[in-house]
Amino acid sequence: MALDYEKKLAATATPIPGFLVFDLTVHGDNRGWFKENWQRAKMTALGLPDFGPVQNNISFNDEVGVTRGIHAEPWDKFISVATGRVFGAWVDLREGPSFGTVFTCEIDPGVAVYVPRGVGNAYQTLEPNTAYSYLVNAHWSPEAKYTFLNLADETVAINWPIPLSEAILSDKDKGHPRLDAVTPFPPAAPRVLVTGAHGQLGRALMTQLPEAGFVPVGVDLDELNIADRASVEAYDWSGVDIIVNAAAWTNVDGAETPEGRPQAWAANATGPSNLARVATKHGLTLVHISSEYTFDGTHAPHTEDEPPSPLGVYGQSKAGGDAAVESTPRHFLVRTSWVVGAGKNFVATMADLAARGIAPKVVDDQIGRLTFTTDLAAGIIHLLSSDAPWGTYNLSNEGTPLSWAEVAKQVFTLTGHDPDAVTPISTEEYFAGKSVAARPADSTLDLSKIEGTGFQPPSMDRRLMEYVAQFSALHLGHSGS
């Protein structure tokens, strides 16, 4: 069969969701032919998932009529033929509405197919000395669980070019079940490693990830020291698809001290660099949480492409970690501000002061938006679940930017206390006589990019009201016990 040397590289969708057929460009003359069998940049531009192959396998068949399948495997495959020609048949054995959908086509050196995990794969050789090649994105393991379908199943009714009665089959393939006896291939739940799992954001993620269909594994410093390269490289990454790095050194003033400076850099820069390295090596997605402290606060609202201009060591260390994370291809760098969640935070502190009758002085010349961890976690999950492009995204709650003093007054009002008990004061006055880090004057983040992906951050005012109500109820409950 003559090869078509005029074809251009192209991708075609099929009735099986996610299954793609590629026309490959083959260059040839009287000496033979040459082709780019796998070209990541060109093929991903045509719609091929960047599936990160880690193993290349070749099946060689001497005779015409060798028939193998139908096997659904727990990895994605990119299949081509090095020499010869095969008839390929694929049946969707994944759980869902497309279960049982069939697609067939011939594969010669000018055609390749992308087969998502859970889609049953079978082929029949049409020429002698056929070499069938495939890339997979997981290492073969004897513990891997397959789903099988009988080649002769009457429901899918594959029209084999060579009748199965005349074909060469293994006894094992002859014994596979019919479609009505097949247990569908379960959806693959992405496995997410959350660093800093006991922190404010980490706890929100560990709660929400299972609800969104992810399998979370939480670690903290005592289980995985991300700043220790040897510890990171020794970790078993085979059970991880996504890393969400919620670990950080957040003591802004402590980072300015001789003791705190190396700790801030270790957690905020070295740690993300180590995670970026393993993410690149293993083809993992890395989500990293950044801060508005990477900016000096003079050009708000801050956009994702604003150059870093940190005022202090904390911001400098976060900017260093950001640069490392941007080096790994599959990354989401999520920049946030004024985080509020379970545990110690500004809102909880103000509510506690109000309850104890303490009238605080609060700075009124730093403005920004609060970010509640429930929404920060939801935004991260949205990025992971959607087709959002890799890159940097700002994420806070929506609403009119407020000063810290205005937030404090709202908390006092919501807890039933006099907001005038809060005395606004300048940053300079508040820190007079103290050695502290400089703060950005305006922390407001531009949210248009993440909103463009379909995620709408909830109102800061509404979330503050809900949070204070929960805090007050908890406080009253403890008081009465």
Predicted confidence (pLDDT) per residue in 289-307, tens digit:
999 999 999 988 999 999 9
Q: Which long-range contacts (CB under 8 A, 24 or more apart) does 255-264 make?
A: 255/312, 255/313, 255/314, 255/317, 255/437, 256/312, 256/313, 256/314, 256/435, 256/436, 256/437, 260/313, 261/313, 264/313, 264/314, 264/317
Q: How many helices (H) and strands (E) in the chain?
A: 13, 25
Of the candidates 373, 351, 350, the one whose C-alpha atom is nearest the C-alpha of residue 463 is 373
Please compute Rg for the chain using Cα positions. 28
Considering the four listed CATH numbers 3.40.225.10, 2.60.120.10, 3.40.190.10, 3.30.70.1140, the one that applies to the domain covering 10-181 is 2.60.120.10
Q: What is the pLDDT of residue 88?
A: 97
pLDDT in the model for residue 239 = 81
Label residue 430 exposed, middle or buried (CB < 10 Å: 0-12, 13-18, 19+).
middle
Catalytic residues: 71, 134
Domain boundaries, the chain: 10-181, 191-479
Tell me what pLDDT residue 475 has: 57
CATH 1.10.10.60 fits 191-479, yes or no: no
CB atoms near residue 186 (< 10 Å): 12
Give, to the nearest 10 degrees, the angle between helix 460-479 and helix 346-355. Answer: 50
Helix (H) or strand (E) holding 167: none
Q: Which residue has the tokens 């002698």?
A: 128
Which residue numbers in the chain have pLDDT < 50?
Answer: 477-481
Q: Sign of the CA dihedral 131, 134, 135, 138?
A: negative
CB 289, CB 248: distance < 8 Å: yes
Return the pLDDT at 4.
Answer: 76
Look at residue 479 in the predicted model and tell me its pLDDT.
47
